[in-house]
Amino acid sequence: MRVTLRSLACAAAVSMVFALASCTSGDPDPAPTDEDTPVVTATDTPTPTETPTGTETPEVPAPTPSANMAGVSATGGFGEEPELTVPDPWGITSTQYKVLVQGKGPVVSDAGLVQVNYLGKNGRTGVVFDESYTKGAPVTLSLSQIIPGWVKALVGQRVGSRILVAIPGADGYDASGGRESAGILLGDTLVFVIDVVQAEVTVPTGTAVTVTNPDLPKVEGELDKPTLSFPGGNPPTDLVVQPLIKGEGAALVAEDYIEVNYVEYVWASRSLVRQTYGYSPLMDDLASTIPGWKEALVGQTVGSRILLIVPPAKAYPEGNPDLGVPVGSTMVYVIDIMFAAQS
């Protein structure tokens, strides 16, 4: 399970192509937490949010499946609404895809979150049954909750890529009996153009940053389980933001919903307060975190690792007895930014 204080799925539900069985929300805490609560419970197949024009499914016979994607094409650059051509009625024997635009960002893994724009057309009818380009925002999805054809096409691709994929019913909606309300019958091939806007990273990835200040704590240990060793002397009185790894993903904005791993220390006692490594990442609106986080993380990029020293006024001005943090404590964090999206 993942840590969450506000469900991303609820925030994005109006534009999400994949149906959600339930969403929960609540008042966020003022600081990061590692409370274990699920993000979302979802069906294992997508549900289109748009239905084709008209009240009846076109009476079109099932085509003889093709062995390749000959005749299927799409125009337009990354992020542009595509023109998708499918020689309907048309089908394909197995999931196949083409990379139309090669991105250079983080790689999509087989778990976690991905943010995309897409357009989907039914190969049998030629009808566009769903798309996101005209809705004003990309869609955030969990790789564990999308149809198998999407997983086959997306895993291993890089952010910034445009992918053309043809998916037979076996890798699409056949497991749920089709989606007749959207004109998708059992056995229908679906053709998508997908732009990969953002992808979750599992560990920091990017360019290492050389730290020359000897008065800062040192980050040690394994990449997926960092620890801190402290210098002598008093902590700095101002907020310190020291990138350790500069990620290649999008820069955070104040309105983002973020997913991060972190460790939290009290400078004075050199004691570990809490961590998410080995447990569950924190998922919440950046605006719901402590003031030091809100100030420091805006402009940092997905994939980055940040060393953050937060003075008492921007952390816990009154202390935090529940965490064993005394009044007047300077807090120290190592934060790995794994994902960010508009909430």
In contact, 2 and 23? CB cutoff 8 Å: no
CATH number attached to the domain at 206-342? 3.10.50.40
Residue 7 has a pLDDT of: 28
Q: Return the exposure string of 329-338: e unless at least 16 CB atoms fall within 10 Å of the residue's CB, then b.
A: bbbbbbbbbb
Residue 27 has a pLDDT of: 33
Residue 61 has a pLDDT of: 74
Residue extents of the structural domains in the chain: 43-199, 206-342
Q: Does domain 43-199 have CATH number 3.10.50.40?
A: yes
Residue 11 has a pLDDT of: 31
Residue 59 has a pLDDT of: 65
Query: Whose structure tokens read 């732009």?
Result: 195
Residue 109 has a pLDDT of: 87
Q: Return the exposure string of 70-88: e unless at least 16 CB atoms fall within 10 Å of the residue's CB, then b.
A: eebbbebebeeebebebeb
In contact, 59 and 291? CB cutoff 8 Å: no
The 8-class DSSP code of residue 310 comes to E
Q: Six-digit token pair at 175? A: 């497991």
Verify cis geometry, omega within 30 degrees of 0, for the bond prior to 89: yes
In contact, 255 and 342? CB cutoff 8 Å: yes
10-residue averages of pLDDT along the chain (343 residues)? 32 31 31 31 36 50 91 96 95 98 90 93 96 94 93 95 98 94 95 96 93 96 95 96 94 95 98 96 96 98 97 98 97 97 80
- Written in H, E and C, the secondary structure of 211-230 is CCCCCCCEEEEECCEEEEEC
The bridge status of strand 96-101 relative to strand 83-85 is: unpaired
What is the three-class DSSP state of 170?
helix
Domains 43-199 and 206-342 share a fold: yes
Beta carbons within 8 Å of 136's beta carbon, 6+ residues apart: none
